[in-house]
Amino acid sequence: PGKTGGAMAGGEGPGAAKRAKAAGQVLTLKVMYMMQGKPWHRLRIAGEESLNNLVAGILDVMGYDDMHLYMLSFGPKEITGAVFDKDSEGRKKKLGDMGLEKDSMFRIVYDFGDNNEMLVTVEDVEEEGVLPPPKVCSDYEVRIEVLQGHGKIWPQYGGDPLGENEDDEEDEDEASEEDEDDDFDDQEDTDEDEEGWEDSADDEDED
């Protein structure tokens, strides 16, 4: 959530050469969360990962639990499952087998009660990419890497949004300065009104 780090494509950063390992096909995805503020993350993930592991990885990045059903929509084809279900259809389908290419888009809905919707755009497809070692997401080892994030992820069960980036802080500072300017202008207007009233009262006394 908020601004997130991670080695960029090509294994930049200290120690990346030792960490990065061949991963075959690697897809760069931009995951747009259809919630207030439209936050997003940019991820790289191995094409060999199952759709189930893709969802597990995204939920891990969001800070959400995996106790609900999901649905992935690739045009008319829909695949439903649950991350915790070892026999779900999503565990039998690999991301790299879905015919995705640059600029392809698909949709994920998680938790049919809250309908947490995500719009996923494929930004790049590397036929021979490298990734850091797998990380554990919902008890599964997933070859996924977070490149970048923007905005605030709203918590799964209510409360204040998770994460905050520098752009948000700058916007809040600017809004605060504008409020102060407005207050100052209002005070000036009030002072002018009072002076005008006093001048009018003096004129009446002279009459």
Q: Give per-residue pLDDT as tens, 102-130.
A: 999 999 999 998 999 999 999 999 999 99
Q: Give per-residue pLDDT as tens, 140-172.
A: 999 999 999 999 998 888 766 655 544 444 444
What is the value of pTM for the model shown? 0.68
Stronger pLDDT, 1 or 78, i.e. the higher one:
78
DSSP string, 108-171: EEE-TTTTEEEEEEEEEEEEEEEEPPPEEETTEEE-EEEEEEES-BPPTTSSSPB---HHHHHH
pLDDT for 206: 52
Taking every pair of Cα atoms in the chain, the longest distance, rounded to a whole number of angstroms, is 96
pLDDT at 191 over 50: yes
Average pLDDT taken over every residue of the chain? 79
pLDDT at 195 over 90: no
DSSP structure class, residue 8: P
pLDDT for 161: 65
Tokens coding 34: 């259809």
Paired strand residues for 106: 120
Which residue from 49, 67, 32, 45 is spatially nearest to 157, judged by alpha carbons?
Answer: 67
pLDDT for 23: 74
Give the type of residue at 150: H
pLDDT for 10: 38
Mean pLDDT of 168-197: 52
Q: Give per-residue pLDDT as tens, 58-94.
A: 999 999 999 999 999 999 999 999 999 989 999 999 9
Rounded CA gap, 30 and 71, in Å?
18
Which residue from 196, 190, 30, 35 is spatially nearest to 104, judged by alpha carbons?
Answer: 30
Q: Give per-residue pLDDT as tens, 46-57.
A: 999 999 999 999
* Neighbouring C-beta atoms of residue 139, cutoff 10 Å: 10
Rounded CA gap, 96 and 49, in Å?
8
The angle subtended at Cα 141 by Cα 75 and Cα 12, nearest 5°, is: 85
pLDDT at 180 over 80: no
